[in-house]
Structure 1
Amino acid sequence: MSFEIWLSFALLVFLVVMSPGPSILIGMSHALRYGARPTLMTALGDVTANMIQMLIAALGLGAVLATSATAFAIVK
């Protein structure tokens, strides 16, 4: 990979990572509306949900769902 392509990729990744996502937006919304304690609970719930999603992905559920229509229908 040439340096120019790598630099373009790195810049794109930086922009995507720095853009606020739904977690940041709900955190800001809760902070402005409800205060610190509810915002901490929201952040804890968000982190917990992200950890569960990472665990499921690591266990390969995506591969199972991609190959089994029945499993996909059950999860859906």
Structure 2
Amino acid sequence: MAFAGHDFAAPRKTKDSEWAAVAAVLAAGLRYEGFEPCGCGQEPKYRPHTSAQVRARRRIAARHGLTDAEALALRDPA
């Protein structure tokens, strides 16, 4: 079990695409945290919700020379 961050909300067990996105975010070294590490009401940073969003951000990373962590943190991949 891994600590995913204060702002992590687990998807339903049957949502495989959403769990794949969670695994990709955690594998990139990111967490589901807001701007404050204590999780005290700050706006959380963007993280992709589905595997399709992960794939889109990885394509952008390959085109622009970004790391996975930088690409997965992008709100709008364009």
Query: How high is the TM-score relative to the length of structure 1?
Result: 0.28
Q: Quick one: higher RCO (CA 8 Å, sep 6+), 1 or 2?
A: 2
Structure having the higher helix fraction is: 1
Structure label with greater radius of gyration: 1
